[in-house]
Structure 1
Amino acid sequence: MEKVLEVKNLTKLYKNGRGVKDINFDVYKGDVFGFLGPNGAGKTTVMKSIVGLNMFERGEVKILGFDIKSKFEKALEKVGAIIETADAYEYMSAYNNLKIISRFYSNIKESDIDEILEMVDLKEFKNEKVSKFSLGMKQRLALASALLSNPELIILDEPTNGLDIEGTVQMRNLIIGLAREKQVTFFISSHLVHEIELMCSKVAIIHKGMLINKGEEIKNIKEKYASLEDFYMNEINKRRGESNE
C-alpha cells in the first residue's frame, strides 16, 4: 500500500517543557486516520509540524515521499489542511470565498467550484453570505476550501468540534464518502473517542506529548475490547499508573 504520510521521531518541545516527543506513525492511501487525545495532548503541535507551521528540532516528515524540509513545495502540493480555525470572509458568499482561494491554484474552473460546493452539500447556498451560515455549514465550507487543490491528503483539526448532531453526522458522512469514493486520505484529530470510532479506519492515541500506539485498525481493537473508549481508557490509565510508580 502507498504511504501518503510518514512521521518519524518527530520532536517539538517548547520552552515551558510541553510539546511532543518521538512521534512515529504512517498513514496509507485511503485511510481515515484518527489522531486521538485529550485537549493539550499535542495533537495540534503535530499537525502544525506536518504542514510546516512549526519548526521541529528532531525527526522527519514525508508527504507522498517528499521531505517537508528539503522539498517543502512538492510535499505540500497535494495537501489540504484546516488547523485550529475554519476562517472565511463572512461578508462574502460561499462561492466568492472559494473563488478567492482558487486563485492560488492553476487550472481551477468555475465549474470546479460548483462541483465542490455540491460535494459538501452547499451548492444551493452558494450565493448566501457566510455570516448567515450555521457552524456546520462553515465547517463544510472549510472542507470545500481544502478540497479545491484536488488533494490526496486532507488534514483536519477537530472537524466536528462544536457541531450539533445533524452537523456532526453530515461531516462524518462527507469524510467517509470522500475516502471511499475518491480515495482521499484523511488525517483527523479529535478528543471525541466515539466520533473517531465511527469515522476512522485507524487510530493513533497521543497522551502528554507521547504516542500510546502508532496507528491500529479500529476493527482489530474492537476484537479485543468492547469499544474504542475501553481501549483508550485502559491505555491512558496504564500510562498514569506507570508515571506514579
Structure 2
Amino acid sequence: MEKILEVNNLTKIYKNGRGVKNINFEVYKGEVFGFLGPNGAGKTTIMKAIVGLNTIQTGTVSIFGTNLHENFEEAIKHVGSIIETADLYLYMTAYNNLKIASRFYKSISETDIDEILDVVKIKEYKNEKVRNFSLGMKQRLALAIALLSKPKFVILDEPTNGLDIEGTIEMRNLIIKLAKEQQITFFISSHLVHEIELMCSRVAIIHYGELVNNGKEISEIKKEVNSLEEFYMSSIKKEVLK
C-alpha cells in the first residue's frame, strides 16, 4: 500500500507543560483514517504540525515521501485541510467564497468551482449568502474549500461536529464516497467515537498527548470487542493503570 503520511517521534510541548510526545503513525492511500480522542488530548496540535502550522521540538513528518520541514512546498502541494474552523465570509455568496480561495492556487477555473460545489451538493445555493446557510451547509462549503485544489490527501478537524442527524449522515457518506471513488485519502479528527467507527477504516487513539493505539483496523477491533467505544474505554483504562 502506498504510504501517504508518516509521522515519526513527533513531540511538541508548550510552556504550560501540555502538548504531545513521541507520536508515531502512518496513513495509506485511499483510506479514511480516524484520529480519536477527547477535547484537549492533542489532536489539533498534531494536525497543525502535519501541515506546518506549528513548530515541533523533535520528530519528522513526511507526506508523499517528502519531509515536510526539508521541502515544505513539495510535501504540501497535494494536501487540503480544514483545521479548527473554516474562515468563511458570511456576507459573501458560496461561489465568491470559493473564488477568493481559488486565488491561492494555479489554474482554478469557474468550471472547477462549479464542479466542487456540485460534489458537496450545494451548487444550487452557489449565489446565496453564506450567513443564510445552515451549519451543515457551512460544513459542506468548508469541505469544498479543502477540495478546491483537487488534493490527494485531506485533513478534516471534527467535520460532523454540531451537525444534526441528517447532516452528519450526509457528511459521513460524502467522505466515504470520495475516498472510494476518487481515492482521496482522509485524515479525520473527532471526539465522537460512534462517528469514527462508522466513517473510518483505521483509528489512532490519543489520550493526554500520547498515542494509546497508533492505527488499528476497526474491523479487527470489532472482532475482539463489541464496539469501538468498548475498545476505546479499555485502552484508556490500560493507559491509566500503567
TM-score by length of 2: 0.99
Q: Which is worse superposed, 126-135 or 96-105?
A: 96-105
Counterpart in the other structure of 1:34 = 34
Counterpart in the other structure of 2:6 = 6
Q: CA deviation at 1:193?
A: 0.3
Q: Secondary structure at the match of 1:223?
A: helix
Q: CA deviation at 1:210?
A: 0.3
Q: Secondary structure at the match of 1:92?
A: coil
After TM superposition, list the pairs within 5 Å mapping 1:18-167 onto structure 2. 18-167=18-167
How far apart in 2 are the matches of 1:147 and 1:203?
23
Q: CA deviation at 1:208?
A: 0.6
Q: CA deviation at 1:107?
A: 1.5
Q: CA deviation at 1:66?
A: 1.0
Q: CA deviation at 1:3?
A: 0.5
How far apart in 2 are the matches of 1:98 and 1:19?
34
Q: CA deviation at 1:239?
A: 1.3
Percent identity for Structure 1 against Structure 2: 70
Counterpart in the other structure of 2:222 = 222
Gaps of 5+ in 1: none
Counting matched residue pairs gives 242
Q: How much is the aligned-residue C-alpha RMSD, in angstroms?
A: 0.6
Counterpart in the other structure of 1:212 = 212
How far apart in 1 are the matches of 2:48 and 2:86?
15
Q: CA deviation at 1:138?
A: 0.4
Q: CA deviation at 1:167?
A: 1.0
How far apart in 2 are the matches of 1:115 and 1:49?
30
Counterpart in the other structure of 1:239 = 239
Q: CA deviation at 1:179?
A: 0.2
**Match of 2:144, as an amino acid?**
A
Gaps of 5+ in 2: none
**Match of 1:15, as an amino acid?**
K
How far apart in 2 are the matches of 1:239 and 1:62?
28
Q: Which is worse superposed, 199-208 or 101-110?
A: 101-110
How far apart in 2 are the matches of 1:167 and 1:87?
20
Q: Which of structure 1's runs of 4+ aligned residues deviate more than 4 A?
A: none
How far apart in 2 are the matches of 1:76 and 1:141?
21
